Structure 1
């Protein structure tokens, strides 16, 4: 999705929006004082601040992101928040360069759905977890991505973006598969939970689908999934529909899945 200033700001907003869900996840499986934790694809902050509070001064949190702009913004955010136990690293999620089997807790949010090599990323995450450590993943499933009253422009944009993701080797329905992916990758004691948010016209995420479509405009048109003119019409019609007081939007279902790297065998 790029790393423009507006996108960095959106991701920070998103992190605050989904803070309660992240806190619930960490209450269930998060690290304790003195632990080492890794947030893969942390963006401009991710959950590194939440992890920093849990591991304390004797622990360490590493935030990893492939985009330098994300890492630089995360460093600024960490400094402003006084997070002295946080280290931000520029690197590939599938080839992190971190020491294997050294983290008590390894986490990623909204990354696997947006990369074609999600299996490689998950494999690296498990390799980085110590034996007995926890690997936790948060990602969405577009099964609940809907608006009411329905509108043809909504359905059209959902369909073309879903197809764009498929053509690029990604899956907007990845969320439901997370528990199976963790088990197939060798984790044990796998658990799962899911929740969804509902938005109305006074919420910034009411128009998130429209903004995603505009951000992907070139790719959608170049792939022949929609013409530029049709995209303009859909965007205009949908913005008007979403602004109606009675229109509600259901956000994609957020799945949280976590499991433990076995003590006695390599994952």
Structure 2
């Protein structure tokens, strides 16, 4: 089964818009990550599961005209928008490739920096994707992963509909071989993949009424409706009741939502440090 079949959120226009918004929202976090371990001028970088943009623009700026950025995604819908945005923003050093990261024909051992964001938690073959990322990196190259952990996914005041929907989506992810708590495991996963000099950081965001991500849990449950019902986890009427009750609760001015904690972890493939990421001062 392909990553596209397993990506339960789909690739409809609303989801593409959400991913673009998400990329802009998490831009400061991405910039801090690249300040720590990102590529420098002349490097080759890959963004695995780049979606409609990912961090392609940030990487393009970092590697400059003498470098190259490859954006890899399995969904044609994502890449169609990505091609349009890459052309519109004149990211001439960016090349887009359609394919599953775990089965790509891209140059093995040819990248100084390989990144993915919010991909591993959303695919059942996260281990294979991470192994493929390591295979893409050259000796001394850097692997960087950003993913969430639902340990902080709460709302206040609490509400039974919130708890029920968190439990439903968590179980759906588990049944599909995925883990909503993957974020905390990233450093260990990188170490198990053979990387060294492991680093980790994490951050949390809180949303209030009016922010698009304030209703993200209800929106996600709706996007996953078919899969939730097919798995026998809920019925249409029950899901309607839960999402309706939750949306009413979220509409209250004092209700706040804590987003899943975003973990960032990075490590270096053992080998030639001099060719790793061409960072200033590296």
TM-score band by shorter chain is over 0.9
**Equivalent residue number for residue 192 of structure 1:** 200
Mapping 1:17-166, distance limit 5 Å? 17-166=25-174
SS of residue paired to 1:226 = coil
**Equivalent residue number for residue 233 of structure 1:** 241
CA distance in 2, matches of 1:90, 1:223: 30
**Equivalent residue number for residue 7 of structure 1:** 15
Residue 222 of structure 1 deviates from its aligned partner by 1.4
CA distance in 2, matches of 1:40, 1:214: 26
The answer on 1:172 being equivalent to 2:217 is: no
Residue 124 of structure 1 deviates from its aligned partner by 0.4
CA distance in 2, matches of 1:124, 1:238: 40
Q: Which runs of 5+ in 2 are unaligned?
A: 1-8, 273-282
Residue 54 of structure 1 deviates from its aligned partner by 0.2
CA distance in 1, matches of 2:199, 2:255: 34
SS of residue paired to 1:84 = coil
SS of residue paired to 1:94 = helix
Residue 33 of structure 1 deviates from its aligned partner by 0.2
Residue 228 of structure 1 deviates from its aligned partner by 1.4
SS of residue paired to 1:202 = coil
CA distance in 2, matches of 1:132, 1:215: 40
Alignment equivalent of 1:215, drawn from 210, 223, 227: 223
Residue 66 of structure 1 deviates from its aligned partner by 0.1
Q: Indicate the RMSD between aligned Cα atoms, in angstroms.
A: 0.7
CA distance in 1, matches of 2:210, 2:225: 25
Residue 5 of structure 1 deviates from its aligned partner by 1.2
CA distance in 1, matches of 2:170, 2:241: 19
SS of residue paired to 2:102 = coil
Residue 223 of structure 1 deviates from its aligned partner by 1.1
**What are the superposed Cα offsets for residues 67-88 of structure 1, whole Å, 9 maximum, x if unpaired?**
0111111010011111000001
Q: How many residues align?
A: 264
SS of residue paired to 1:22 = helix
SS of residue paired to 2:90 = coil
**What are the superposed Cα offsets for residues 224-249 of structure 1, whole Å, 9 maximum, x if unpaired?**
11121111101101001001100000
TM-score by length of 1: 0.98
CA distance in 1, matches of 2:140, 2:251: 49
Point out 4+ residue stretches in structure 1 off by more than 4 angstroms: none
Q: Which runs of 5+ in 1 are unaligned?
A: none
SS of residue paired to 1:130 = strand
**What are the superposed Cα offsets for residues 199-233 of structure 1, whole Å, 9 maximum, x if unpaired?**
00110000000010001111111111112111110
**What are the superposed Cα offsets for residues 46-65 of structure 1, whole Å, 9 maximum, x if unpaired?**
00000000000000000000
